[in-house]
Amino acid sequence: MEEFILYVKLQCPFCIKAESLIKESGHSYKIVPFDKNLDLLEHMKWAYSHKTVPMIFLKEEKQIKFVGGYTDLSSYLEERDEARRTTAS
């Protein structure tokens, strides 16, 4: 089973959009807020060379893949849906 993990700031517009996009796509997800742990946020930004939130990960079985931010998530879901439509044809 796959599940998205969103590391967010709760009032961030792109974080809210990312959650909405995942909800609309029907995928399972968890939200992990950074609001009370900004030191962890800075460490995650450094560790993944990603400067903004949300930071989105996809957990599949025992593997976790860094997807990126909102734009990366949108592209990822579009490509995945396209691949599924092509395979189903």
Instruction: Write out the DSSP string of 5-16.
Output: EEEE-TT-HHHH
CATH of the domain at 23: 3.40.30.10
CA distance 18 to 24: 10
Taking residue 37's Cβ as centre, other Cβ atoms within 10 Å add up to: 12
Q: What is the pTM of this model?
A: 0.89
As a whole number, the mean pLDDT across the chain is 93
The larger pLDDT score, comparing residue 89 to residue 41, is at: 41
Domain total in the chain: 1
By residue range, what is the domain housing residue 83? 2-88
Looking at the predicted structure, is the pLDDT value of residue 81 above 90? no
Q: Is 50 left (phi over 0), alpha (psi -120 to 50) or beta?
A: beta
